[in-house]
Structure 1
Amino acid sequence: MRELNSILDRITMLTNTMESQYPELYQFLDENPITLPLLPHPEMNKEVMESYLQSLQELLDHHVKTHKNEP
């Protein structure tokens, strides 16, 4: 359970960073197919949450890499 709480904390920190530093990216999180589960009622366990955290991090990394030269 502690590990799951740690993952949730990291997800929260990452989404807060996206919201404050990358609002242009944050606004699309609710509609992003990468972050949406494929199952109608997915089980929320450690593996699922780690995968979600990884997808958020990849999304942010890609955004930063592709938009680093913009003002």
Structure 2
Amino acid sequence: MISEGELNAEILRVTLKIHTEYPELSKFIEEMPVTIPNVDRPEINISILSDYLDSLNSLIFHYKEGIIQ
């Protein structure tokens, strides 16, 4: 199982990739529910981090497929 630190490192890597290779997608990152929690102190755990990483990778995939323009 992947650790929280490894997930955070991978999230950082993918986020930097989006900002450098696909800067037009940066606006979508800010709108993701994980980046705009609806509570004052959201609980962040491995499951939430994994879902966030999946959503970042999905964003890139859908952009490459032409689904997001």
Q: Given the two structures, how large is their TM-score scaled by the length of structure 1? A: 0.76
| Aligned-residue offset at 1:66 | 0.4
Query: Any stretches of 5+ residues in structure 2 without a counterpart?
Result: none
Partner of 1:57: 57
% same residue: 25
Max radius of gyration: which structure?
1
Aligned length: 63
Q: Given the two structures, how large is their TM-score scaled by the length of structure 2? A: 0.78
Aligned partners of 1:15 and 1:66: how far apart in 2? 19
| Aligned-residue offset at 1:29 | 1.5
**How large is the RMSD of aligned CA atoms in angstroms?**
1.9
Amino acid across the alignment from 2:33? L
- Runs of 4 or more consecutive aligned structure 1 residues displaced over 6 Å after TM superposition: none
